[in-house]
Structure 1
Amino acid sequence: MRFAFIAKHRSIWPVAWLCSALDVSRSGFHAWLNRSPSARSRYDEALLVEIDRSFKSSDRTYGTRRVWHDVLAEGLSCGLHRIERLMRENGLRARPRRRGLPKDAGERLVASVSHNILDRAFEASAPNQKWVADFTYIWTAEGWLYVAAVVDLFSRRVVGWSMKAEMTAQLVTDALIMAIWRRGKPDSLLHHSDQGSQYTSEQFQRLMADHGITCSMSRSGNVWDNAAMESFFSSLKTERTARKVYRTRDAARADVFDYIERFYNPKRRHSTLGYLSPVEFEEIAMLA
């Protein structure tokens, strides 16, 4: 460890001074410096290549555990603590989460408010049993862009989304239409959202009724009733939008599309799915 310290700091202080301060010989240090790297060091280098690839492909948002699962998926065997050490030594640190934006407080049709049937049961035994939905806001130089999404609780896959400059009923309706188009007409589907005016609107409720979808809604002011949806938007912001400055809404739309369709659904590993991506989880489930 003393030789390693000297090697790391020899560009700052003279080697002779460092050797004297640490009570080691200069000849011993140079012998250590010139010897061949150990098998462990060479393996660390191979691990670091995959660690760096995983970290950068996640846009520098993956922490130790997700990087570890990426490395294991490449066929390299190692422990979690080894990954943690290598990431720490090389300054690979995931960006911290940021606080989300406030929720919409628009007027709602009280007659259309449904009970909380989901009741925080965020698991599903098959696709298209339980969908959760919500929308969020992304700032651009042109003003707010509103992003609505629908997530299947079976795989955490985003099955529908919509982006508009206004937070209207059409915003959330289009997201549900996409989900139905992608997944087919649902059978015994439960759809859960908050009590926002967009979800209680006649337009949205009519679409739900036309497709025989059962409506569930969070209790007023209780964000934890839709925690799975909050988790998705937290990931979207932390891993992508909160670190960007968008000049136009179109630029933000393109980036959100890229995050959902090219990273989150096919690649992003989820602890609730055994560190598989939503697409991988569904593909494995289909083979079972």
Structure 2
Amino acid sequence: QRVNHKRLRRLLSEHELGLSRQASKHSPSPVQKILGEAAGNLNLVAGQDLGPLEAFSTDFTEVAYAGGDRKAYLMAVVDLESKYVPGWAVGPSANRKLAMRCWEQVREQMAILGESLDEKIIHHDLDSVYTSYRWLHAMLLGDELRVSYSENGAKGNPWIESLWGRTKDEIGSRITEASSLPVLRSVFDERFRYYNQERRHSSIGYIPPREHLGQTLDTLEPEPQIAAAS
């Protein structure tokens, strides 16, 4: 005789019985096994003296817009040394699709800069997107980068956290006031163009990241200097 779950619960309660439940555990993927075996040696950037465009940091951050009623996710990639941001993307979910859209922009910008991605380092946390086959295939096989992981969350990835902090402090009101996702994207497009071309950074001599790259990379022309009015 079939009974529904409500009757079953009532009978179990009356007789002080419990129904044991055991969820099946998923076996770790080959990627998870490899990362587990390499624990303690996953961070390739800690303590390293890296030059411009040699290592990049990335992550997702959640942003509230439309007066705080809607949420979106921003992913950006920042160069550890120069603070240059070669790619960013905004979308409704922090997923592989958004990550690959952001990375495609990085590829295009690096080509414009005349820089190869071979042997560069991409550093991020152990988020499922960054341990997925699609992401790792693109990084390791497609672009031949080296993949680095923070093993203690945000503490091991301060470069992108610093970018998020500055961005939200400086344009937080514009983010909140954006009325739609397309408007929000235009806010970040404007922000990162300004960040790369005009915003001065104390860590690179109080000049913009693009100007710093022009001074330190043989592949780039220095930024033109504007003569001061006499």
1:284 equivalent in structure 2: 215
**Is 1:145 the counterpart of 2:103 in the alignment?**
no
Q: Does 1:160 align with 2:82?
A: no
Of residues 193, 203, 206, the one that matches 2:137 is: 206
Structure with larger RCO (C-alpha < 8 A, sep 6+): 2
Classify the secondary structure of the residue corresponding to 2:62. Answer: strand
* Alignment correspondent of 1:132: 57
Superposition RMSD in Å: 2.3
| 1:216 lines up with 2:148 in the alignment | yes
Report if the CA contact (8 A) 2:59-2:160 is conserved: yes
- Indicate conservation of the 8 Å contact 2:120/2:145, yes or no: yes
TM-score (norm. length: structure 2): 0.70
Native 8 Å contact 1:160 1:178 kept in 2: yes
Offset at 1:112?
Answer: 6.3
Amino acid at match of 2:150: S
Amino acid at match of 1:152: D
Give ranges in structure 2 of 5+ residues lacking alignment: 1-28, 223-230
State the percentage of identical aligned residues.
24
How far apart, in 2, do the equivalents of 1:154 and 1:187 lie? 17
Which letter maps to 1:110?
Q
Match of 1:110 in 2: 32
Instruction: Name the residue aligned to 1:249.
Output: 181
Describe the shift of the 1:255–1:120 C-alpha distance in structure 2 as closer, same or farther (beyond 3 A): farther
Partners of 1:194 and 1:217 within 8 A in 2:
yes
Checking the alignment, whether the CA contact within 8 Å between 2:52 and 2:213 is kept in structure 1 is: no
Distance in 1, Cα, partners of 2:133 & 2:105:
19
* 2:120 equivalent in structure 1: 189
- The 4+ residue runs of structure 1 with deviation greater than 4 A are none
Residue type at the aligned position of 1:159? P
Q: Measure how far apart 1:146 and its partner are.
A: 0.9
Q: 1:81-100 alignment to 2 at 5 Å?
A: none
Is 1:133–1:148's contact at 8 Å kept on the other side of the alignment?
Answer: yes
Between the aligned partners of 1:203 and 1:162, the Cα distance in structure 2 is 17
Contact 1:112–1:200 (Cα < 8 Å) also in 2: no
Deviation by residue 1:167-217 (Cα, 9 ceiling, x = unmatched):
111111222221122113412111100111111111101101221111000
Deviation for aligned residue 1:242: 4.7
Give the structure 2 partner of residue 169 of structure 1: 96
Structure 2 CA distance for aligned equivalents of residues 146 and 158 of structure 1: 17
- Identify if the C-alpha distance between structure 1 residues 280 and 234 changes in structure 2 by more than 3 Å, giving closer, same or farther: same
Give the distance between the partners of 1:157 and 1:259, measured in 2 at CA: 12
Kindly provide the CA deviation profile for residues 91-121 of structure 1, in whole angstroms up to 9, marking residues without a partner as x.
xxxxxxxxxxxxxxxxx96246471111254
Q: CA contact under 8 A between 1:139 and 1:246: conserved in structure 2?
A: no
2:225 aligned with 1:225: no
How far 1:154 sits from its partner (Å)? 2.8
Alignment TM-score, normalising by the size of structure 1: 0.57
Larger Rg: 1
- Structure 2 residue identity aligned to 1:204: W
Name the CA distance, whole Å, in 1 between partners of 2:62 and 2:171: 13
Preserved contact between residue 52 and residue 79 of structure 2 (Cα < 8 Å):
no
Q: Secondary structure at the match of 1:200?
A: coil
